[in-house]
């Protein structure tokens, strides 16, 4: 993940592929458990919104231009602006630090106000220090094309990694429960229960 150096944050010794989407989903669910609705959540939601729009049009060139032209409505403009301004507003900056056998080392400088929130106790607990590096994990997931796998379950609101393009629920259970709540689902369920009672007259 990220380690703090004297000058900023650096990606630790993971060689090759790190599943940023997986890291993020885990952290987002921890934030959710804590009931904290931080700006990271807003950032991820906005990015996913734009990513979904773009994916539906098969990631055309100049999607940002089309969004700003208003083709996808005001919400899309707002979401894109938020995502694009986030790192600028928070004064994150990228530095190519030095060359290494696996490629150049990336370093991120982070604004002073985040320094006070560095993880002090334990690097894996979700403490305020996550405010410092979580946006960078979002950045890596976005640049690495892993955002489209991150979803928020439409039923229980938990974050999960989707396995299919059209997967809106984290589990079969959530999909079923959501379906039961729809008019069609309610009708089918009622019909099923009627048939069940006819077949099993002694069941309650
Ligand atoms: Zn769910």
Has residue 23 got a pLDDT over 80? yes
Has residue 17 got a pLDDT over 60? no
Distance CA 150, CA 168 (A): 10
Separation of CA 35 and ligand 1 centre (Å): 17
Separation of CA 179 and ligand 1 centre (Å): 12
Strand partners, 150: 161
Separation of CA 171 and ligand 1 centre (Å): 6
Per-residue pLDDT, 165: 79
CB atoms closer than 10 angstroms to residue 87: 17
| Per-residue tokens: 88 | 């600028």
Separation of CA 151 and ligand 1 centre (Å): 10
Separation of CA 172 and ligand 1 centre (Å): 8
Residue ranges with CB less than 5 Å from ion ligand 1: 153, 155-156, 170, 174
Separation of CA 9 and ligand 1 centre (Å): 34
Separation of CA 41 and ligand 1 centre (Å): 17
Is the whole model's pTM more than 0.75, yes or no? yes
Per-residue pLDDT, 6: 65
pLDDT band at 29 (very low <50, low <70, confident <90, very high): very high
Per-residue pLDDT, 102: 78
Distance CA 1, CA 38 (A): 20
Separation of CA 158 and ligand 1 centre (Å): 6
Distance CA 184, CA 101 (A): 59
Strand partners, 96: 106
Distance CA 147, CA 19 (A): 11
Separation of CA 76 and ligand 1 centre (Å): 25
8 Å CB contact between 24 and 33? no
8 Å CB contact between 197 and 190? no
| Helix boundaries (H) for the chain | 20-33, 39-56, 63-68, 74-89, 112-115, 130-143, 172-180, 183-199
Separation of CA 137 and ligand 1 centre (Å): 23
**96-116 pLDDT, tens per residue?**
888 888 788 888 887 776 665
96: helix, strand or coil = strand
Separation of CA 156 and ligand 1 centre (Å): 4
């Amino acid at each position: 993940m990220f380690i703090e150096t004297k000058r900023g944050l650096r990606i630790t010794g993971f060689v090759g592929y790190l599943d940023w989407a997986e890291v993020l989903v885990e952290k987002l669910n921890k934030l959710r458990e804590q009931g904290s609705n931080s700006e990271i959540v807003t950032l991820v939601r906005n990015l996913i919104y734009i990513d979904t729009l773009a994916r539906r049009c098969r990631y055309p060139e100049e999607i940002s231009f089309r969004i700003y032209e208003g083709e996808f409505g005001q919400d899309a403009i707002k979401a894109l602006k938020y995502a694009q301004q986030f790192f600028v507003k928070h004064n994150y900056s990228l530095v190519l630090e030095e060359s290494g056998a696996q490629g150049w080392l990336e370093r991120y400088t982070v604004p002073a106000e985040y320094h006070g929130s560095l993880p002090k106790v334990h690097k894996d607990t979700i403490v305020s220090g996550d405010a410092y590096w979580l946006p960078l994990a979002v950045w890596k997931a976005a640049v690495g094309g892993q955002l489209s796998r991150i979803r928020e379950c439409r039923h229980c609101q938990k974050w999960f990694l989707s396995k299919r393009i059209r997967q809106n629920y984290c589990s079969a259970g959530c999909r079923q429960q959501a379906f039961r709540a729809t008019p069609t689902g309610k009708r089918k369920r009622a019909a099923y229960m009627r048939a069940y009672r006819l077949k099993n007259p002694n069941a309650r």
